[in-house]
Structure 1
């Protein structure tokens, strides 16, 4: 019985551990932009591939509701292409520490509490 419990705990913890196969690999940056003619406000916001990779390493996947209710959705963005498990995806990172990952019809929302240094803060 004790061995079965240990096996069960091992399986449970391995399912909750980060999966290296789900790592977001930034392939390219395709554009920088802004919503609602905020070019002056966003003039300093740029990320390179290394910073975009760092964002997805530090950020956590969140629900749209949590993204909306608890994080700043700023008009400045960087967009590009990424690969996850050999699938090509589109990504967007915004200056407020939020992001989206779109793989086919699936959209994932990401937020980062400790990414200020990536964004010049």
Structure 2
């Protein structure tokens, strides 16, 4: 009976904390995807951010992550594999990126705003 008293505390201690990392962008460019004719943003990360991205995605394959810029959610993909490259391509949804155009997001990134990744949203 005494064990039941402490069970909720033990269960709460196994809950994992959400993690958020920021990535510094060397360049971002709005383009049109030749496959879908939708706007995309091609992003080149700085070398340190490339390693941060690889480390972040390594333990999250099969899980959903969230990418945002300046408080605007860009995309929430399910990771298919570790991302260990310094280049990313983000595709806009039907409404752009959280109401912002690919050009606006690329401009924001080029002005120094960081790309934020989170495993909880």
Q: Which has the higher helix share?
A: 1
User: Does 1 or 2 have the higher relative contact order (CA < 8 Å, sep 6+)?
Assistant: 2
TM-score, normalisation: structure 1: 0.33
* Structure with the larger strand share: 1
